[in-house]
Structure 1
């Protein structure tokens, strides 16, 4: 069985979150994506503490598609060094996991 992942990134606005979420699914790099926000974010950047609002994008994909998804997120993202993290799903319903595999299979 393939690795199944939850991948996340954050964006500074709803428009960029929607663009990255929809284009990743259209390219079959993710089976689905969700956009949530805004969320309050507190961070350390360029030598000082900061805060702001961000939008969270969550993708469901397979390990086989992770590298392409990460590259796509980075290429489409408005930030130079965006957060891109992936967590392996330990469990999931068999039908849902098969659907993820089918939905992210590269087109022949």
Structure 2
């Protein structure tokens, strides 16, 4: 299992990306976490913005397509998209595979 993570400026954009990923069977689950405060370098200054974190559960066979979908759908000029491999139970791995197989 991998978690693909990005931040979004609002619930509507996070929900739209999550729905598109789920509809396309590129992810088995999406978690939207409110209350993120991001501080970051952007265009020569340090900005601070409220955001939501979007985490999508998938496997590596869908990573490239999922990253492309996020990049295409995201309202930011430069969405930061990261992923990491996570350990899980065999039952959760089987569920993820079943839900991301068209």
Answering whether residue 66 of structure 2 is matched by residue 69 of structure 1, we say: yes
2-structure distance, mates of 1:104, 1:83: 23
Runs of 4 or more consecutive aligned structure 1 residues displaced over 6 Å after TM superposition: none
TM-score where L is the length of structure 2: 0.96
Q: 1:34 aligns with which of 31, 34, 41?
A: 31
2-structure distance, mates of 1:65, 1:71: 10
Q: CA deviation at 1:38?
A: 2.7
2-structure distance, mates of 1:24, 1:63: 14
Deviations 1:2-60 (A, max 9, x none): xx201101011111011111111111000000111131111111111010101110000
Q: 2:12 aligns with which of 3, 15, 22?
A: 15
- Residue correspondences, number: 102
Instruction: Provide the alpha-carbon RMSD of the alignment.
Output: 0.8
Give the 5 Å matches for 1:22-61: 22-61=19-58
List runs of 5+ in structure 1 lacking aligned partners: none
1-structure distance, mates of 2:50, 2:58: 26
Q: CA deviation at 1:79?
A: 0.9
Determine helix, strand or coil for the equivalent of 1:17. helix
List runs of 5+ in structure 2 lacking aligned partners: none
TM-score where L is the length of structure 1: 0.91
Determine helix, strand or coil for the equivalent of 2:77. coil
